[in-house]
Chains A and B, each alone.
Chain A
Amino acid sequence: MSSVLYDAPGPKSRARSRLISVVGTIILAGGLLALIVVLGLPKTSANGAVQPGLWDISRWDVFNDLLVWRTLGFGALATLRMAAVAAVFALVIGVLFSFGRLSASAWIRVPTTVLLEFFRGMPVLLMMLFILLVFSTGSFWAGVAALSVYNGAIIGEALRAGINALPRGQREAGLAIGLTPVATRFRIEFPQAFRQMLPIIIAQLVVLLKDTSLSFIVGYNELLRAGLNQLANFFGEQYKFSFFFIVLAIYLAMNLSLSWLARRIAKRTGPQAGSVTKDDSTPPIDPVQVDPQALGAQSRS
């Protein structure tokens, strides 16, 4: 229960920590409250016009309109559709990449490695623009293609690390009972690696879902564009903040539920490591910084 880093506090330090805790809470809550109040104050713009504060009813009445919710719903569906299609392709590409990088033949391995480094080092947004301009695919497929190639590269690296982290005996046993090298990889190594790396793969899918918002920039009509561009332009400036908060809430709901799923799966399948600090025992899965080599090294040790 108590952390290793400090003793179970005695009465004196308990009192002190309670004091600090109360003061800290007051400071944090006060800061938040001040922010909310300041945002809520009516403000006078440069030309003397007075605008109502952010929480004023006149900024939120637009949500009585069913059309707003319909537009937001369609936007969210468009986001989810792009994420779903891209996720399927990313998984397929990831599997192909991992097999390519582990191939016995240098003719396959080296080009795959170069390609993978190229895709991993380039911004997704640039890739979207590239695909949009060069292949003139339309914004939906430009987004899907860029997201699946980029995330496929990262999932591929994760899978490779997973396969590398398996005990050598697995492959040897597969070969010894007469399976071909390809069959060994597919039927013995890959299923284990996939299960091992599932939390990381799901975390990467959260990144993918988040990154669909980039397709807003190449003109795809998804949640961000629907909420912050179309609706805000249609209903006027004073609703911009309200739309922002609603869009933010929808994104958070989608991403947090997927992250929660990733964490549940990590808890069930991941390594049970002891931790120095008090809070959640799961190893933090960091979508952006997932470094397959580090993960490989970790799970080997």
Chain B
Amino acid sequence: MDAVIDNLPLFLDGFRNTLGLLLIAGVGASVIGLIVAAMRISPISSFRLFATAYTELVRNTPLTLVLFFCAYLLPLLEFSPGYFQLAAIGLTVYTSPFVAEALRSGVNGVHVGQAEAARSVGLTFGQTLTFVVMPQAIRMVVPPLINVLIALTKNTSVAGAFFVFELFGAARKVTNDRGDAVIPILLAVAAFYLIITIPLGLIAGRIEKKVAVLR
């Protein structure tokens, strides 16, 4: 137990970096994901093709490989803004197709009759999306988006293996120093992750129930 208390500053340091990665990558992935999702449902076939290819390629690449590229290969291309930033870029790219898919599944989840009704009263593509489909889709999209965020929280741990000092990095360092107290240290780190993921999961479940009642 003392191993945990002695190293609490280290853990808090790591926790801060984990939260930082979560925030940056979350916002970045949302922006890119929104663009990709819009391309994916747009009438222009080349955009659709590009968005589909992007989604499929990035989604089927292991995160470790993406972060490896960012941490080892981007510096070789003379692009090295620091390992934290590189990891944030990698996580952003890796998470964006998942956001896009969540958004798209939300749009697809809106009943066809809604879009048909909007179209038949004469709304255009843009109006149909902004006034009819999106307001309903966004509501349904929140729980899966939160699940993407939960996955992102857990994925930030991989950055710890690529020179970023976040929770997993802290765990590695402290378990190296204190090989006698591995179990309490790892449980403490797990608790830090659970502090983020469990509340998010509860919120997702709550919203889901609300939405289910509304529909």
Q: Which residues of A contact B (CB under 8 A)?
A: 3-7, 9, 17, 20-21, 24-25, 28, 39, 43, 45, 117-118, 120-126, 129-130, 133-134, 206, 210-214, 216-217, 224, 228, 237, 240-241, 244, 247-248, 251-252, 255-256, 259, 273-279, 283-284, 286-291, 293-294, 297-298, 301
Contacts and interface: CB of A to CB of B under 8 A. Distances in A.
B112 interface: yes
B119 A4 contact: yes
A256 B182 CA distance: 38
A266 B64 CA distance: 28
Interface in B32-89: 40-41, 43-48, 50, 52, 56-57, 59-65, 68-69, 72-73, 76-78
Contact of A28 (B46, B183, B193): B46
Given A214-B62, A244-B69, 5 more contacts: A4-B116, A121-B193, A122-B194, A240-B76, A279-B52
Residue of B64, B77, B78, B172 most packed against chain A (CB within 10 A) = B64
Contacts of B160: 125
A251 B60 contact: yes
Question: Which of under 10, 10 to 19, 20 to 34, or 35 or more describes the interface residues of B?
Answer: 35 or more
A125 B105 contact: no
Contacts of A274: 112
A12 B121 CA distance: 22
B91 interface: no
B62 A297 contact: no
Interface in B81-107: 98, 101-102, 104-105, 107
B197 A121 contact: yes
Contacts of B98: 286, 288-289
Interface stretch (B2-10, B19-27, B149-157): B149-157
16 contacts: A7-B119, A21-B44, A24-B44, A39-B77, A122-B154, A123-B168, A126-B193, A129-B172, A210-B62, A212-B62, A240-B73, A241-B76, A286-B102, A288-B148, A289-B101, A289-B148
A43 B64 contact: no
A24 B46 contact: yes
Contact of B193 (A5, A123, A206, A289): A123
Q: What's the dominant secondary structure at chain B's contact region?
A: helix
B65 A224 contact: yes
B17 to A, nearest CB: 14
A291 B60 contact: no
Contacts of B163: none
A52 B57 CA distance: 27
A256 B60 contact: yes
B44 to A, nearest CB: 5
B101 to A, nearest CB: 5
Given A4-B115, A122-B193, A297-B208, A286 B144 contact: yes
Contacts of B78: 43, 45
Residue of B148, B156, B157 most packed against chain A (CB within 10 A) = B157
A103 to B, nearest CB: 21
Contact of A252 (B61, B73, B151): B61
A283 B194 contact: no
Contact of B108 (A125, A237, A275, A290): A275
B34 to A, nearest CB: 15
A213 B186 contact: no
B205 A293 contact: yes
A224 B193 contact: no
Given A121-B197, A122-B193, A134-B183, A276 B64 contact: no
A276 B133 CA distance: 9
Contacts of B201: 117, 120-121
B164 interface: no
Contacts of B214: none
B102 to A, nearest CB: 6
A134 B186 contact: yes
Contact of A5 (B60, B125, B155, B157): B125
Given A43-B78, A126-B193, A288-B148, A214 B43 contact: no
A68 B55 CA distance: 30
Contacts of A21: 44-46
A289 B189 CA distance: 23
A125 B148 CA distance: 17
